[in-house]
Amino acid sequence: MSNANYSLTTFSPTGKLTQIDHALTAVGNGLTALGIKATNGVVIATKKASVSVLADETSLEKIALASNNIGMTYAGLGPDFRVLTAKGRKEVQKYWLQYHDQIPVSQFVQRSAGIAQEFTQSGGVRPFGVSLLVAGYDDDGPQLYQVDPSGSFWAWKASAIGAKAKGARSFLEKRYDAEMEIEDAIHTAILALKEDFEGEVTAHNIEVGVIRTDRQFKVLTPAEVADYIAEAA
């Protein structure tokens, strides 16, 4: 039986919420993003594309800070990512006001996933058309999570989302090493993006974010990215 005639919050006879399938299609059409957890940090990297040669490249960002010790990227709809980022930052501030401490990565992920799930069961809204990769560092060490539009989330050693996720994940499965340190992880992330990249990988069409043992998430500058690309060649 077709799932087409069932509303956003109504299960179809096959047990699906069809709007979730549509949201995952939006994710699958998005630019590839990936993350790798190392022994001493986490790296997330993503493709990015300019809408025009006239666009200001400095305004094109696909990696955002949720707090000092947490950064995230996405595949899917950019406006939805901005809304989830804003809501996630509010959760960070709520935790700080209550406990006067940085939010643990797992708590941030659970709260972000809860927000995503609420939008699958409420009238007048739709699910967010993004999957998130969340990288952070807290008392439990470096952590990498993926959050999907349904509100499902998992911890990963390495993962990829977006249009070329299957190829990137296959590459990571072959190259991942549990003893990998952060510098090797950065090089591996760049090589994974190169694997299915149409054209040349440059500091202008990819973005890289890193968190190390200092627990300060940092988006690498174009010059730093260019150096890592040269080293990974």
Mean pLDDT, consecutive 10-residue segments, the chain of 233 residues? 59 81 94 97 92 76 96 97 97 96 97 96 89 98 97 97 94 95 97 85 93 97 95 84
| Residue 2 counted as domain residue | no
What is the pLDDT, as a whole number, of residue 1? Answer: 43
Phi, psi values for residue 146, rounded to 5°: -120, 135
Q: How far apart are CA 177 and CA 37, in angstroms?
A: 10
H/E stretch holding 142 reads strand 141-147
The CATH number linked to 97 is 3.60.20.10
Q: Give a yes or no: residue 13 inside a domain.
A: no
Domain limits for position 166: 19-232
Helices within the chain (DSSP H only): 18-28, 78-99, 105-118, 165-175, 182-195, 222-232
Asked if the structure places residue 47 within a domain, the reply is yes
CB 215 within 8 Å of CB 138: yes
14: in domain:
no
Main-chain phi, psi angles of 64, to 5 degrees: -130, 150
200: phi then psi, degrees, rounded to nearest 5 = -85, 140
Tokens of 36: 């790798």
Rounded Cα distance between 225 and 216, Å, is: 18
Residue type, 26: A
200 occurs within a structural domain? yes
Residue 195: the pLDDT is 84
**DSSP-derived pairing of the beta strands 141-147 and 70-76:** unpaired
Q: What is the pLDDT at residue 5?
A: 59
HSE-up (13 A, CA, CB side) for residue 71: 28
**Which token pair is 151?**
């509100």
Q: Is residue 118 part of a domain?
A: yes
- Going by the DSSP 8-state scheme, the letter that residue 133 receives in this structure is E
Q: Domain count for the chain, please give it.
A: 1
Whole-number pLDDT of residue 171:
95
The answer to whether position 187 is within a domain reads: yes
Q: pTM for the full model?
A: 0.92
Which of 153, 86, 93 lies closest to 144 in space, CA to CA? 153
- CA dihedral angle for residue 139, residue 144, residue 149, residue 150, rounded to 10 degrees: -70
